[in-house]
Amino acid sequence: MITTEENILQQAGTVFYRKGLAGARMQEIADLAGINKAMLHYYFKTKEQLFDRVFLQAFEHFVENITTVLNGNASLEDKIVSYVNQTVDALAQNPGIPVFVLNELSHNPQRITEIFAGEEKINLKLFREQVDKYSGGKIDYENLFIDMVALCVYPFVVAPVFKQLLHKSDEQYTALLQSRKDHVVREILGRLSV
């Protein structure tokens, strides 16, 4: 059985993903959770405290997996495959996250920066060394990494547009994104053969 706190976190996530921190209202979260506002404030004193908890919970596992992949000792090719698979799978489970991140970047870029890059959470040093060694310094690791991120994340950001443009149902679009993993891996690995 779900606890009251877990229910609040789930409902708050729904609201925060749609509206961001600035647009979310505690009353709306309380209504969705089926509790009164006083009970909501018993568990979470402020909207910011609730937001931090929802946000950190949503990204903790994602960032941990990406950190493990990028900082691990796997070959560069295996690292790229793992990154693509884990990123697409994580976003498929939480498709509102990219829009949520973009929304928060416009309001509080430091918060997002700290979660991804603070305290060396995602450190690209080993990735850079591997790319340099693999390519003999011919491939710019920064652009390669940005391309990896963009090719995985962008289809989730513009999903409503692509669904309509490509005439895809939610299920069809999800299947397309899963099949796209192989496409993205081929694109990125193809650049390494330069």
- Domain boundaries of the chain, sorted by first residue: 1-45, 47-192
Q: What percent of the chain has pLDDT over 70?
A: 97
Q: Mean pLDDT for the chain?
A: 89
Select from 104, 144, 110 the least CA-distant residue to 124.
144
Select from 7, 2, 75, 69 the least CA-distant residue to 35.
7
Query: What is the spatial distance between Cα 120 and Cα 180, in angstroms, rounded to a whole number?
Result: 30
1-45: in CATH 1.10.10.60: yes
67 touches 82 (CB < 8 A): no
Q: What pTM does this model have?
A: 0.77
Please state which CATH number belongs to domain 47-192. 1.10.357
Span 31-48, average pLDDT: 95
Does residue 37 surpass a pLDDT of 80? yes
Alpha-carbon distance values, 14 to 2, 164, 184 (Å):
16, 23, 29
- Taking the CB of residue 96, how many other CB atoms lie within 10 A of it? 17
Query: What is the spatial distance between Cα 128 and Cα 126, in angstroms, rounded to a whole number?
Result: 5
Q: 150 falls in which pLDDT band (50, 70, 90)?
A: very high
Q: Rounded to 5 degrees, what angle do the CA atoms 31, 32, 33 make?
A: 90
The pLDDT value recorded for residue 47 is 94
